[in-house]
């Protein structure tokens, strides 16, 4: 079993191996509290979390809260790396909020749907009245949030929570940072425009999806040209209207790009990986009845990012479903920029996007 995991992991591109080596081997921080923020590690229904708590203020009864799910292609990073530790600490300080950062399990240890289940279990545990009381959290002022693959999990968890009739407490807001939301079309204008963009080129995003689904890398070329959602793939037909970027995107995003729709494709890909059409993995494909149940939403997108259009299309679909949405687009920013605010990767794009995100939470939570 361990040998299989090792072989699978070695198949990851050099890009992923080097990145994970840098951010996870050397950079796990212990839960060191400061005068301003109390940081503790806990377990919520079997899932590890890191909790950031500001000190109680005089006459203050209950605090706001954010459940945060980190990015990294479902395979990289950690709630304990300095990048996410720093982000969550700053959020807790700036918002005077309890921040719960979810340490879900990663590829190759587990694949879909386990990352989703971990995020859902931890969030549902936190939303219990007695747990919220333990952390002095106001049950009516909770947001769920995440970046990149964490934005994917946050959106999927939020959809699941909205359909759970037994829940008495649900998030007031969702805030998604350059989220990855679909694996239906790898030729949206932003995928075409940014296919070779550093940090997240298209082939790397496709590899993340294949690893998340425990699929075969031999499928990568078929996915790149949308063979898995060709017009003769019956399973995909009913979803096509939910992801028609020609009607969902503004002309400033569409530019002169043309849709890539194959007439004949490979239906066996969906049979082999049915999760490609599973809304728990691809929340952009959810039905309108589910979207109508979503809370007030913030979506941050960057121009230099293959995932720009995922976020923009989700914003438009939520808007059509009657949800109040803020689409916060940054023309000069790139995928992943928001966590790069610490030397030696302290980019102005990181500070700019982080400040905008925190400002929206502060005004709406």
Query: Reduced to 3 states, what is the DSSP secondary structure of residue 182?
Result: coil
Q: Is 117 a catalytic residue?
A: no
Angle between helices 114-126 and 149-163 (to 10 degrees): 60
Max Cα separation, the chain? 67
Catalytic residue among 70, 117, 228, 335: 335
Decide if 305 is catalytic.
Answer: yes
Q: What is the DSSP string of 39-76?
A: EEEEEETTEEEEEEEPPPPTT---EEEEEEE--STTTS
Alpha helices (H) along 185-262: 189-193, 202-212, 220-224, 234-237, 245-248, 251-254
Exactly one of 147, 305, 310, 328 is catalytic; name it. 305
Among 101, 145, 148, 190, which one carries the catalytic annotation? Answer: 148
- Concerning whether 145 is annotated as a catalytic residue, the answer is no
CB atoms within 10 A of CB 264: 10
Three state DSSP letters for 310-331:
HHHHHHHHHHHCCCCEEEEEEE
Residue 290: C-alpha distances to residues 99, 175, 282, 287, 323 (Å): 26, 17, 13, 6, 11
Angle between helices 82-95 and 348-364 (to 10 degrees): 40
DSSP classification of residue 128: S
Q: Going by DSSP bridges, is the β-strand pair 325-334/341-342 parallel, antiparallel, or unpaired?
A: unpaired
Q: From CA 42, how far away is CA 128, in angstroms rounded?
A: 15
Active site residues: 148, 305, 335
């Amino acid at each position: 079993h361990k040998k299989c995991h090792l072989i699978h992991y070695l198949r990851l591109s050099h890009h992923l191996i080097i990145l994970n080596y840098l951010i996870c081997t050397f950079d796990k921080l212990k839960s060191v509290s400061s005068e301003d923020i109390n940081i503790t590690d806990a377990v919520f229904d079997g899932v590890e979390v890191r909790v950031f708590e500001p000190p109680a203020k005089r006459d203050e009864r209950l605090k706001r809260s954010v459940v945060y799910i980190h990015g990294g292609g479902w395979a990289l990073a950690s709630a304990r790396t300095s990048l996410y530790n720093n982000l969550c600490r700053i959020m807790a300080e700036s918002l005077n909020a309890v921040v719960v950062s979810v340490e879900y399990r990663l590829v190759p240890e587990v694949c879909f749907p386990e990352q989703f289940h971990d995020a859902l279990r931890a969030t549902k545990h936190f939303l219990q009245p007695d747990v919220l009381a333990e952390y002095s959290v106001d049950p009516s002022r909770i947001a769920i949030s995440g970046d990149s693959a964490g934005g994917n999990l946050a959106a999927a968890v939020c959809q699941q929570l909205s359909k759970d009739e037994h829940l008495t407490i649900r998030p007031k807001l969702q805030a998604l940072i350059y989220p990855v939301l679909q694996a239906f079309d790898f030729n949206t204008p932003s995928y075409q425009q940014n296919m070779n963009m550093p940090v997240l080129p298209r082939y790397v995003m496709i590899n993340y999806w294949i690893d998340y689904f425990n699929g075969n890398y031999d499928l990568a070329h078929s996915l790149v040209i949308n063979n898995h959602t060709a017009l003769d793939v019956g399973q995909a037909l009913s979803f096509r209207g939910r992801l028609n970027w020609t009607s969902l995107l503004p002309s400033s995003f569409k530019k002169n790009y043309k849709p890539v729709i194959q007439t004949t494709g490979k239906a066996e890909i969906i049979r082999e990986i049915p999760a490609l059409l599973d809304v728990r993995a691809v929340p952009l494909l959810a039905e309108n009845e589910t979207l109508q149940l979503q809370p007030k939403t913030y979506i941050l997108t960057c121009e230099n990012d293959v995932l720009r259009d995922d976020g923009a299309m989700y914003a438009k679909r939520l808007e059509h479903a009657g949800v109040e949405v803020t689409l916060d687009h940054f023309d000069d920013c790139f995928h992943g920029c928001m966590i790069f605010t610490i030397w030696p990767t302290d980019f102005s794009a990181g500070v700019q996007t982080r400040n905008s995100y925190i400002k929206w939470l502060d005004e709406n939570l």
